[in-house]
Amino acid sequence: MSHSPGQKANIPKTVSEKIWDVLGCLCYAGSIVFLFSIWSKLPEEVPVHYGVLGEADRWGSKWELIILPGIGMFILLLMTLLEKHPEIHNYPKRLNEANAERFYLHSRKLINQLKNVCIIIFSFILLESVSIALGWGSGFGKWFLPIALFAVGFLIASSMIKRKKIQ
Residues 98-113 have a mean pLDDT of 94
- Paired strand residues for 61: 45
DSSP code of residue 57: E
* Mean pLDDT to the nearest integer, 5-34: 91
DSSP three-state, residue 89: coil
- Cβ(48)–Cβ(60) below 8 Å: yes
Q: Where are the domains of the chain?
A: 22-164
Average pLDDT over residues 121-144: 92
Q: What is the mean pLDDT of residues 83-88?
A: 92
Average pLDDT, the chain: 92
- Of the two residues 134 and 142, the one the predictor is more confident about is 134
Higher pLDDT, 146 or 10: 146
Q: Residue 24's pLDDT is what? A: 97
**Dist. CA 72–CA 29, nearest whole Å:** 10
AA identity, residue 121: I
Q: How would residue 116 be classed by pLDDT, with cut points 50, 70 and 90?
A: very high
For residue 32, CA distances in Å to 15, 42, 78, 79, 125 come to 26, 14, 19, 20, 12
